[in-house]
Structure 1
C-alpha cells in the first residue's frame, strides 16, 4: 500500500543572509527575485502533493534555489520544469518530487532532504530517478567552503546508487575539490555525472535573472541541456 501523507516544506528554516538582505533594500532586481522564494516554494509543495497522489514513479530532485527555479519567469521554467515538460524516455512516466529549498547547503541535503527521500521510499513509492545539484551556497561562504570537501564526500556516500550529480562550473579551489570527489564516485560506478564544466556553463551573458546571480529562463535551458545529456 502506498502512503501519500507527506509533511515537507520547500522553505528554508533560516532567514536570508545579511548581505542578500542589505542588497535587497537597495537593488530592485535582488528584491524582485527574493520575492519569488515563498510563492515558488508553495508551488512546489502543491506539486509534490499531486506527485505523491498520482501513483506514478517519482523523479526526486535534491538541491537549492536553482532546483526550485528561482530567477525563472515561473516555477516550472527552471531546469527541473523544463525537463519535466519534455522528459527523456527514462522519466517519461515519472512525476517530480522536488525537495529543494532556497539557500540549501550540502549539510541541508544530508540532514533534511535525504531523510524526506527515505520517508517517501518507505511509504512504498517507486523512485525512478534522483538528481542532485548543490554546492553554490557552500562556495559563497568562507566557513562552509572550508567544510565543503568533507561534507560532499559524506553526501556522496549517502545518496542512492545511480544518483545524477552535477559538478561545479567554477574555478575556485573548493569547487575543484568538490569536483574531484564527484569524479571519484563516478569512476567507482556509484553515481552519474551531469558535467557543468563546459564552456556554455561559464558564460552567463544574457542568461541571468534580475539579481545577476540566479539564471533566467535561458540560463535554466542551458542547465536543462546538461542534465538531459546525463540522462
Structure 2
C-alpha cells in the first residue's frame, strides 16, 4: 500500500512538471477561486456564455473582472515588501550574487520582477536610495546541485562571487525531482534516504568552492518548501523528505563560517494556491514577495556589521 502511494506521488511529481502542468492546472481551475483560466479558456468560456444567454452577459461579471482583485492583491503584497521602510545602513557599495535553480531565476513570476531576487533588489534600493546596489542573478531552471557546482567554474559567475558582499543560494529541489524521475515506478522513502549523503557532499562542495573565490562574503542558503502540501497533505513521507533535505542544508551551513540558513517552508505550508504560479509548483509574484521579505529579515541584522567588516561569525538562529 505504501509503495502504491509513492508511485502515485511520483506520477503527481511528473504532472507538476512543465510538460504536464496543464493537466493539473486544468483540473484545479474550477476548484479554487484563486485560479484564473488561461486567456484561451477564458475567451472560450465567454463565447459559450454569449451563445447560450446573450441577455445575462451584460449583468454577470466576467472572469476578467474576477481576476482583477486577485491580481491587485498580488501587486499590493509586492508593494508592501518593496515600499516597507527598513532601518538599513549600507556604508559602501553592496554587491549581491544569487546562484541556484529556478527559484533564483524567478520561474513563475509572470510580472517580470525577477522573482525574489528582483523584488529584494527593489526593496533594498527603496530602503537605501543613496547606496549603490549591484545584484547579479545566475539562477538556471532545472539545475541540480551537481550542475550548480559545475557552473560555479564559469568565469562570469566566479568573478561575481569573488566581488560579492552577499551570496544567495537555492539548491536541492531538482535533486529530489531527479530521484522521482529515476524511480517513478518503484518510488519508496528508502531511495531518498540513499541519496542524502551524496547530496550533502555536493552541497558542501558548493560552499567550499564559493569560499575559494570569496572568504569573507556572507552566504545565505534558502531552504526548500513542499509544493504538494495542499494536495498531498495526507502523505507524511513527502513532508519528511523535505524535512530531511532542509536538515542537510542546516547541517552544512552549521559547518561554515559566516553562513545562514533561511527557512521558507512555513511561508507556503498553509498559503494555498494564491502563492503559486500556473504550474502549481513555482511561486507566483506574491510567493516570491514573501520569500524576499523573509530574506530581508535575515539580512537586516547582519548587513551593517558585515559592511563594517565585523561580521565573521556563523549566524544560523
| TM score, norm. by length of structure 2 | 0.50
**How far is the alpha carbon of 1:228 from its aligned partner?**
1.1
Extract unaligned runs of 5+ from structure 1: 1-16, 33-55
Q: Is the 8 A contact 2:109 2:288 kept in 1?
A: yes
**How far is the alpha carbon of 1:82 from its aligned partner?**
0.9
Q: Is the 8 A contact 2:97 2:161 kept in 1?
A: no
The reply to whether residue 154 of structure 1 matches residue 194 of structure 2 is: no
Match of 2:261 in 1: 193
- Tell me, what secondary structure is at the counterpart of 1:163? strand
Match of 2:271 in 1: 204
Q: Distance between the aligned counterparts of 1:133 and 1:112, measured in 2?
A: 14
Match of 1:164 among 205, 220, 232: 220
The reply to whether residue 119 of structure 1 matches residue 159 of structure 2 is: yes
**How far is the alpha carbon of 1:226 from its aligned partner?**
1.4
The verdict on how the C-alpha distance between 1:220 and 1:149 changes in structure 2, with shifts beyond 3 A counting, is same
Q: CA RMSD, aligned part only?
A: 3.1
Q: Distance between the aligned counterparts of 1:193 and 1:177, measured in 2?
A: 14
Match of 2:145 in 1: 106
Extract unaligned runs of 5+ from structure 2: 1-12, 27-37, 39-92, 183-190, 227-237, 300-317
**How far is the alpha carbon of 1:197 from its aligned partner?**
4.1
Match of 2:288 among 204, 209, 220: 220
Q: Distance between the aligned counterparts of 1:182 and 1:58, measured in 2?
A: 24
Q: Is the 8 A contact 1:148 1:174 kept in 2?
A: no
The verdict on how the C-alpha distance between 1:172 and 1:27 changes in structure 2, with shifts beyond 3 A counting, is closer
Match of 2:249 among 174, 179, 182: 182
Match of 1:23 in 2: 20
Q: Distance between the aligned counterparts of 2:21 and 2:177, measured in 1?
A: 17
Count of residues in Structure 1 that have an aligned counterpart in Structure 2: 185
**More helix as a share of residues:** 2
